[in-house]
Structure 1
Amino acid sequence: MALDLFVVLIYAAGMLVLGYYGMRRAKTHEDYLVAGRNLGPSLYMGTMAATVLGGASTVGTVRLGYVHGISGFWLCAALGAGIIALNLFLAKPLLKLKIFTVTQVLEKRYNPMARQASAVIMLAYALMIGVTSILAIGTVLQVLFGLPFWVSVLLGGGVVVVYSTIGGMWSLTLTDIVQFVIKTVGLMFILLPICLYRVGGWDQLVAKLPASNFSFTEIGWDTIITYFMIYFFGILIGQDIWQRVFTARDEKVAQYAGTFAGFYCILYGLACALIGMAAHVLLPNLDNVNNAFAAIVKASLPDGIRGLVIAAALAAMMSTASAGLLAASTVLTEDLLPRLRGGKQSSLNINRLFTMLTGIAVLGIALVVNDVISALTLAYNLLVGGMLIPLMGAILWKRATTSGAIASMALGFVTALVFMFKDGLDANTPIYYSLAVGLVSFVGVSLLSRRPQAAAARAI
């Protein structure tokens, strides 16, 4: 494994070098948080796709393919559909606002209290997005190189924390482009063809797996619908994704390049599901299906090539980990910290400091959580359950009030937590009950509270 380790070390060093170049370009607060709002089509498409397709999308979809066959691609399909919808329909009005966080929309529609309440939920979501990919990085390094899990987390996650801290969004953009290319070549053009070759070709894959593995609904309609409820809507309101939208040079860049990124996500999901299916044929008796990706890489690839594919997997994971990390620190510095500093806005140095502190917190959480899909589900359940109703209400319903929004956030968030604890992280009940409770409380409290003056004026 020495050659593979050398390739991975070269990759990690490259990420740190790109982080340094990002630091040189991040000269202002706006540069650090949204890359100066100046990305063209290629950079925007690459960074958008890299942000969405991380540890859970890669390791998780391979696991789903191993267990459920081709229908495991629905997780990535839901994410890709969300990216397409966001860039086609919401990017134009978002770019006009010149804001940094999702929660600023709620402040404009309601009041600062709604912004603070929603920032707490968004912070929890963004932290768990970072944790999810750091977990995946640790799992891959542990299985492939035989390192202790905590060492794998600290080494792999440490690289992410360093380059994210020093250069912010410019570092993330530069590393995302390289990561996008590496994971496309490594997973779609190297690992997938080699896995199919090892199986004996497509015909042998079909012959050695049950027919149900080739059904696009094998995973179950309830799971498919839940994926869309969680991930599609989560993409529409997630800080890590909105922050990428804010980097676009103009609405045309967002619409065309963003739509391309969404379709790429769907193809990526199909590729990862097929890798999982090949892994099931080649390694039918895995003790832990969560390790399906790492196991198939270790078993099917020669030295050197294995290192390139490991780097490709790490590229996918690091891009999402850094997105979650910067999103969490941005919510802290733009939404929560000014409240404690009497309204004083954050500086570039404050942004760097809190990105570093957030990174340390993410590494700490990753050491005590152990399932990438569960961690991702936790993040999106909290986000969608607590934020979807009041955010959509802010846009679509003039009668909505601040009291209704805050009640919906609090009760939806708590309901998601209660049902995740009661029924488990993989259950469908947390998202459905949290949305139902959030909707009833939002409408009920809004109707019982005083009609907002701005809405009344518009109605007249």
Structure 2
Amino acid sequence: MINAAIAGTVLLLVALGLWASRRVRGRSDNFAVAGRTLTVPLVVVLLMSQVIDSNATVGAADLAGGFGFWAGAAMPLGIAASFLLMGLFVARKVRERELYSLPEYFRTTFGRTGEVLSAVLTVASFGILMAGNLVALGHMLDYFVGVPYGLAILVVTGAILAGTVVGGMFASVYTGLFLMGVMTVGFVGLSLWMFLGPGYSAPEGLGVLDLAQLTDPAAGSVINWATMFALGLGNLVAIDVFQRVSSARSARGARTASLIAAAGTVVLCVPLAAVAVAGAGLLGDGASDSPILFQLLAGPVPAPIAMLVISGLLAASLTTVSGVLLATSTIIVGTLLPTRTLRVSMLRTSQLAMIPVAAIGILVALRVHHTGILLTLTFDLLCASLVAPFVLSLWTRLASTRALVISTVLGLGTRLVFFVLTPTIYGVENTLLYIPNTVVTASVDGWTTFLAAAVSLVVYVGVAAADVRGKRAAAVGGQVVGAPGAGAAPVGAVELAAGPVEISAADAGVAVPVKS
């Protein structure tokens, strides 16, 4: 029955993508941001699909079953915190600017250098996120259907491309509506079955009330807080979240949707960590190396509930991968392949750009078989590079290209150095890229997330503040300041001794999106 649910879900989602193509109508704005017509409920669904995909839920369940409730709850709590911050401080400003992508914001704020730098970092980091979802989907088809892991990844990627290439953001909308209904019923049913059936019980030290997981480093408290920190702040510069907020009908709607998504994420997803902890006790010594959630769904969980949860997980993962493909292809086309140079439409080029992006995701997924850890690592890297420049330039006058470059190099460099020297990644063995050494031990795991983000923040504030003082001093002397390439001021404002003079992006020599 689960096999039938998986096959039916894949076919339905492909059909929804083909049907969504009728809404695109050959327009790039319809393809990328759904014509900016999405209502609050639709934006909520799109945002929440990020946290209920297989990468997050399967990974979070495994962490909860192995390390305790708070290790698993850290993921949905971190993403919920990011939605809350997005609603309170970011969504309205982003939507009012009517942007297509995060690099477009960095272009208008930091110039061409900021655009290219943010594009490279976001595309690379979200390649990791997409690969994590493909890994979870590959394991799902391998475990339930018996399709070999490598072949499973190729099949699901082909299905995602078929729907996204023609349907764009509208395809994600329709898929999201389907998954939210199915997932809500499935998750609620799974929780009720566990708590009213077998009952909740947790191995010693792993339960909800075992708060040492939040206070004692030996019990994983630093790693749990680092997970919430990385997801809470890093998700603010998530390219798929940025694009989905930009698809809202209004700035107020974008803000409201973000706040509702924060509450919905806590209510729907945090109980899954308790289910996983209780499930670990229920399976006992019979637990294998397979994801604990899959073992529960294939074993004691009633078949109707299992089918709903599997269908929802599959739909959520396909939606997340679809969103990543859509966002990264838009970034690649808008940043690196100007359509005026290519002499083809932005819509057609965005569709074609999805193919190499998908190929990269496949290659990473075939080499690395991790899920939840890849999700956290994605936003960890963004915390160490783009978060501080984005937030501070959005809310203050500290906008300096020089500060962006220096803080990114030092913050990201700090994180990557510790990454390759630390034997664990968020408590899991570092099998991705580890250089054996006797200097850095597992005791720094988690702390390096905070350290790298602090380096990025302090360096950016220091350099940007110095640039602002330099601009003011130069203005007193009657010099022209603020050339975007020099990193002194955002594009759109050149400050003269006589006062600020506004210039357009086109006058500054910056490419702007072209609607086909």
Work out whether the TM-score is over 0.5: yes
State the match for 1:174 in structure 2: 174
State the match for 2:115 in structure 1: 115
State the match for 1:142 in structure 2: 142
SS in 1 for 2:213: coil
State the match for 2:194 in structure 1: 195
Cα deviations by residue, 1:355-397 (Å, 9 ceiling, x for unpaired) = 2331222122211111112211221122111111221232244
Change (3 A) 1:289 1:192: farther
Q: Which structure 2 residue ranges, 5 or more long, are not aligned? A: 215-220, 427-444, 472-480, 483-492, 501-516
State the match for 1:93 in structure 2: 93
> Contact between 1:121 and 1:413, CA under 8 Å: does it hold in 2?
no
Q: Within 5 Å, give how 1:25-64 maps onto structure 2.
A: 25-27=23-25, 28-64=27-63
Cα deviations by residue, 1:133-153 (Å, 9 ceiling, x for unpaired) = 111111222222333211222
Give yes or no for the alignment of 1:17 onto 2:15: yes
> Contact between 2:17 and 2:171, CA under 8 Å: does it hold in 1?
yes
SS in 2 for 1:406: helix
Cα deviations by residue, 1:221-251 (Å, 9 ceiling, x for unpaired) = 4234312320011121211101010111112
> Contact between 1:51 and 1:323, CA under 8 Å: does it hold in 2?
no
Cα deviations by residue, 1:253-301 (Å, 9 ceiling, x for unpaired) = 2232321211111122322112202211221236656611111111113
Change (3 A) 1:52 1:331: farther
State the match for 1:217 in structure 2: 211
> Contact between 1:106 and 1:394, CA under 8 Å: does it hold in 2?
no
Amino acid aligned to 2:293: F
State the match for 2:324 in structure 1: 324
State the match for 2:503 in structure 1: none
Across the aligned residues of Structure 1 and Structure 2, the Cα RMSD in angstroms comes to 2.5
Amino acid aligned to 2:327: A
Give 1:444 shift. Answer: 4.4
State the match for 2:459 in structure 1: 441
Amino acid aligned to 2:208: F
> Contact between 1:4 and 1:305, CA under 8 Å: does it hold in 2?
no
Cα deviations by residue, 1:391-435 (Å, 9 ceiling, x for unpaired) = 123224435421111122223223222211111432324422322
State the match for 2:155 in structure 1: 155
> Contact between 2:95 and 2:245, CA under 8 Å: does it hold in 1?
yes
Worse-superposed segment, 358-367 or 392-401: 392-401
Change (3 A) 1:75 1:455: farther
SS in 2 for 1:111: helix
Q: Which structure 1 residue ranges, 5 or more long, are not aligned? A: none
Q: Within 5 Å, give how 1:274-423 maps onto structure 2.
A: 274-285=274-285, 291-303=291-303, 305-338=305-338, 342=341, 347-423=346-422
Separation of aligned partners in 2, 1:26 and 1:413: 38
Change (3 A) 1:14 1:404: same
Change (3 A) 1:151 1:14: same
**Superposition TM-score, scaled by structure 2 size:** 0.81
SS in 2 for 1:285: helix
Cα deviations by residue, 1:145-174 (Å, 9 ceiling, x for unpaired) = 333211222223332222122211011111
Structure number with the bigger relative contact order (C-alpha 8 A, sep ≥ 6) is: 1
Separation of aligned partners in 2, 1:297 and 1:52: 19
Separation of aligned partners in 1, 2:366 and 2:245: 31
Separation of aligned partners in 2, 1:249 and 1:354: 27
Give 1:302 shift. Answer: 4.4
State the match for 1:240 in structure 2: 240
> Contact between 2:91 and 2:258, CA under 8 Å: does it hold in 1?
no
Give 1:91 shift. Answer: 1.5
Q: Taking every aligned residue pair, what percent have the same amino acid on both sides?
A: 23
> Contact between 2:64 and 2:277, CA under 8 Å: does it hold in 1?
yes
Amino acid aligned to 1:390: P
Amino acid aligned to 2:379: Y
Amino acid aligned to 1:219: Q
Indicate the structure (1 or 2) with the bigger Cα radius of gyration. Answer: 2
Change (3 A) 1:144 1:341: same
Q: Which of 3, 6, 16 lines up with 2:4 in the alignment?
A: 6
Separation of aligned partners in 2, 1:87 and 1:36: 21
SS in 1 for 2:76: helix
Cα deviations by residue, 1:337-371 (Å, 9 ceiling, x for unpaired) = 22x96597852111111123312221222111111
Amino acid aligned to 2:17: G
Separation of aligned partners in 2, 1:409 and 1:343: 31
Change (3 A) 1:115 1:286: farther
Change (3 A) 1:253 1:400: closer
Worse-superposed segment, 33-42 or 422-431: 422-431
Higher helix share: 1
Amino acid aligned to 2:446: N
Change (3 A) 1:304 1:210: same
Change (3 A) 1:288 1:421: farther
Separation of aligned partners in 1, 2:287 and 2:278: 17
Amino acid aligned to 1:188: V
Separation of aligned partners in 1, 2:49 and 2:58: 14
Worse-superposed segment, 74-83 or 248-257: 248-257
> Contact between 2:65 and 2:277, CA under 8 Å: does it hold in 1?
yes
Change (3 A) 1:325 1:138: same
Give 1:327 shift. Answer: 1.9
